[in-house]
Amino acid sequence: MATAYRSGWHFIDLVTAIPHSGDSLMVTVFGEPVVVTRDEDDDVRAYRCLRRPRGAPQPVRCAIRYGMIFVNLDQRDHRLVEPEAPDARTISATPRSA
C-alpha cells in the first residue's frame, strides 16, 4: 500500500517551521527519513537520508505552495507548481470579422 501512495507529492510541514537560513526539519515519509532545510539564499531544499558510499544525501524534489512544503520521493514529474504569470506583452491583432 505504501508503494501505491509513495508516488506523487506529500505534505511535510509549513514553511514557518524553518523560518531562517540554516534551519532544518527531519521527517519520515513512508519509512524514509527526509531532511528539509533552508539554505543561505532562502531556498527550501529536501534530501532523502540514504547511506551512500560518500555519505551524501540524495536530493528530493521539493515544492512550496501556499506556505506548505511538499516533497516528491520518486522524482517523477507530478506537477505541483503555481501557474506562471501571463506574459505582460501586449499583442495587437485585427479581428477576422473586420
Grid coordinates representing 98? 473586420
Interval 47-75: pLDDT, tens: 887 666 666 677 888 888 888 888 888 76
Instruction: Select from 2.102.10.10, 2.60.40.10, 3.50.50.60, 3.40.50.460 the CATH code of 9-74.
Output: 2.102.10.10
**pLDDT for 30:** 83
Name the pTM for this structure.
0.63
**E strand intervals along the chain:** 9-14, 24-29, 32-38, 44-48, 58-65, 68-72
Containing 8, the helix (H) or strand (E) segment is none
Residues 31 and 47: beta-carbon distance below 8 Å: no
Name the residue with higher pLDDT: 42 or 89.
42
pLDDT reading at 97 higher than 70: no
Residues 47 and 34: beta-carbon distance below 8 Å: yes
The distance of Cα 37 from the centroid of its chain, to the nearest Å, equals 12
DSSP type of residue 42: S
CA-wise closest residue to 46 among 29, 3, 77: 29
Domain ranges of the chain: 9-74
